[in-house]
């Protein structure tokens, strides 16, 4: 081969090899995305809590701003968006065994698993937003995706308040008892007034963790 050609040729080949190996590496990158899946469960949903929140956003646009002071400002745009949030209170039955049922004389005591909550839906009412909002000529009435996400976060935060959580957990327990006592009475043949339902007492009903899948799990008492 020509002496003058061999160097550039090997250089090009080298570059090609590096480029293809880089491409191959890129293809092998593992996607960092949650696994969407089908999951078996044995849960009893006993309560549904319907929350309502009205989101108000005011936006102003000023022009020719110097050090935070606008020399001219446009009229304010006000968006009003009602949001419905639905939370479900449930009890997981996957670990219920014979140990959960205890005979105490002629009485029957059933120990219920811990309640959990799940935010099942956050529904903004777009139709109402269209009617109630004051839009301006320079900007339409829509929320951007980021804003909608922020609204979702705000709605979730407003539910993760101690008193609200406690109320929901207590109601879930009450409802579970009222659903299960007749069922236990029917199945065991013991009259309802002799059946009691008890709960795990070391659960802290005012402190909970919101998981990525919108499930709210109560923490144990410290």
Partner 1 sequence: MNKVKLIFSAIVAVVIIIVGICVYSWIKGVPAFELFHQDNKMERTATILRSITNTHRWVFLTIEDEEVVVNEHTFGNVAKIYPSYYELGIDVSDSLKWVEIQDNNGVRVASLHLPPIKILNENGIDDTKVKNIYGDADDKEKIEMQKKAEFKLKRRAMSGANIKQAKKTAEDHFRNLFTVLECDSVDIKWQSK
Query: Parallel, antiparallel, or unpaired: how do β-strands 107-112 and 101-104 relate?
Result: antiparallel
What is the footprint of partner 1 within residues 162-191 (CB under 8 A)?
164, 167, 171, 175, 178-179, 182-184, 186-189
Q: What are phi and psi of 18, to 5 degrees?
A: -60, -45
Q: Would you state the structure tokens that stand for residue 15, as one six-digit string?
A: 């570059």
- 40 vs 106, beta carbon nearer partner 1: 40
- Among residue numbers 108 through 167, which ones bind partner 1 (CB under 8 A)? 120-124, 126-127, 129-130, 142, 145, 147-152, 154-155, 158-159, 164, 167
**CA distance to 42, 80, 160, 170, per residue, from 173 (Å):** 17, 36, 18, 5
Q: Which is nearer to partner 1, 7 or 103 (CB)?
A: 103
Q: Is 75 in the site for partner 1 (CB under 8 A)?
A: no
C-alpha–C-alpha distance, residues 129 and 133, integer Å: 6
Contact region with partner 1 (CB under 8 A), list: 15-23, 24-32, 87-95, 197-205? 87-95
54 binds partner 1 (CB under 8 A): yes
* 61 is a contact residue toward partner 1 (CB under 8 A): yes
Binds partner 1 by CB under 8 A, chosen from 42, 211, 219, 220: 42
Q: Give, to the nearest 10 degrees, the angle between helix 162-188 and helix 145-159.
A: 70
Q: How does DSSP classify residue 201? A: T
- Measured on CA atoms in the order 159, 160, 161, 166, is the torsion positive or negative? positive
| Minimum CB–partner distance for residue 68 and partner 1 (Å) | 4
Closest CA to 49 of 178, 198, 155: 155
Shortest spacing between CB 104 and partner 1, in angstroms? 15
Contacts with partner 1: how many residues (CB under 8 A)?
80
60 lines the binding site for partner 1 (CB under 8 A):
yes
């Amino acid at each position: 081969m020509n002496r003058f050609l061999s160097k550039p040729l090997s250089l090009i080949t080298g570059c090609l090899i590096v480029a293809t190996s880089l491409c191959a590496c890129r293809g092998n990158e593992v996607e960092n995305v949650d696994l969407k899946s089908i999951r078996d469960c044995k849960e009893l949903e006993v309560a549904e809590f319907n929350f309502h929140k009205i989101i108000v956003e005011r936006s102003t646009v000023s022009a020719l701003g110097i050090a935070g002071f606008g020399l001219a400002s446009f009229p304010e745009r006000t968006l009003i968006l009602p949001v419905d949030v639905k939370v479900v209170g449930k009890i997981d039955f996957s670990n219920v065994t014979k140990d959960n049922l205890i005979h105490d004389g002629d009485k029957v005591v059933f120990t219920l698993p811990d309640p959990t909550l799940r935010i099942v839906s956050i529904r903004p009412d777009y139709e109402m937003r269209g009617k109630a909002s004051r839009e301006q000529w320079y900007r339409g009435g829509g929320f951007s995706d980021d804003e909608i996400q922020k609204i979702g976060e705000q709605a979730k935060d407003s539910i993760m308040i101690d008193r609200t959580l406690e109320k929901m957990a207590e109601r879930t327990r009450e409802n579970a008892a009222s659903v299960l006592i007749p069922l236990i009475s029917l199945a065991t043949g013991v009259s309802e007034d002799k059946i009691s339902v008890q709960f795990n007492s070391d659960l802290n009903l005012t402190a909970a963790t919101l998981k990525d899948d919108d499930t709210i799990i109560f923490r144990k008492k410290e």
